[in-house]
Structure 1
């Protein structure tokens, strides 16, 4: 008799592709493993985010690629840590008022003069409750960055999310890419923690 050992992740992927939806699955069983020490991700965050991830990120463990507590407050360090990542990523930010928000991006972060990414990308906020702001189709301003700043979403001079090169200050504004409100209680914020996660 042939016996095949199938991991929970593989079982979930099969179920996703065969049924086309998660309605018949118990998400509690399939909550992803978190590999890395986090200051931001609680069970509530994990459960909320998991349901909204792109299909190709479902069923995988979350692996910490970068955190300011371990790697310092530097955009350059973040780019360096991303160089070997070949999956969508989750960018979590916590400001000094304990608000949690960020972006899910279709690919890893890199230095680029032009915007890159796909419509799988979205902004999210847990302030005051969990909300997701998907791509509107209005433009393709998903993400771009250099050593001085990182931008997610744009249009009419506004950025959905902007972080400075020292990962100290940020700004969030309504933008056409995601039709989002500002993601935290003030347009300008001071960063407490940044974490980037990939899928493996």
Structure 2
């Protein structure tokens, strides 16, 4: 089951800058690839594009994060102020960086220190993340987070992922941008084309 439904794609896409959204490419889905951190990393690392991580937990809540920088092994937070967290179900919300800190992305792999938990995450602080999935890929956490001004994204701070998927946001080329048509109606058509690309990709992946 693909989590990225049409209304969810509109919700997330509306929070992205126009030049960042052209087509979405499915990089990883736990139903097809298994709940495996190593497989996940193999599919998403060394990608130049931006990524959207979507999680459905065992409580039925759906939420995730947008990462504006590639996922790379670090011992500390990194990233830029384009990243954000979001909720999709049971309510839809976007949580952008507040400027309180720069703890935007977290990607720790094969560290042995308890002070550097292995896994991927967004915001907050170590062991008190806005959103975090551990390297075991069967548990994680979501806390109220000053980085994004976000609440706990689920019903509890400790989460158990049921479905995890990750999409790469593919940018249009410079030539495509130069050739882009202007005008309200045509711009609307362009937006609809983006959605058809995304939905078509999702349908072909089922």
Normalising by structure 2, we get a TM-score of 0.73
**Displacement of 1:84:** 3.5
Write out the 4+ residue segments of structure 1 that deviate beyond 4 Å after TM superposition. Answer: none
Q: What's the secondary structure of 1:76's corresponding residue? A: helix
Q: Could you say which residue in structure 1 is the equivalent of 2:79?
A: 117
Structure 1 residue ranges without an equivalent (≥5): 1-37
CA deviations on 1:176-198 (whole Å, 9 max, x unpaired) are: 21111001112112111111101
Alignment of 1:46 with 2:16, yes or no, is: no
CA deviations on 1:5-60 (whole Å, 9 max, x unpaired) are: xxxxxxxxxxxxxxxxxxxxxxxxxxxxxxxxx520111111111111234322x1
RMSD: 1.7
Equivalent residue in structure 2 for 1:192, among 150, 159, 162: 162
CA deviations on 1:65-113 (whole Å, 9 max, x unpaired) are: 1111122212222221123311111010011122110000102222211
Identify which of structures 1 and 2 has the higher relative contact order when contacts are C-alpha pairs closer than 8 Å and 6+ apart: 2
Alignment of 1:102 with 2:64, yes or no, is: yes
Normalising by structure 1, we get a TM-score of 0.75
Structure 2 residue ranges without an equivalent (≥5): 110-117, 171-206
On the 8 A contact 1:136/1:176 being kept in 2, the answer is yes
* Higher percent of residues as helix: 2
Alignment of 1:174 with 2:174, yes or no, is: no
Tell me which moved more, 67-76 or 134-143. Answer: 67-76
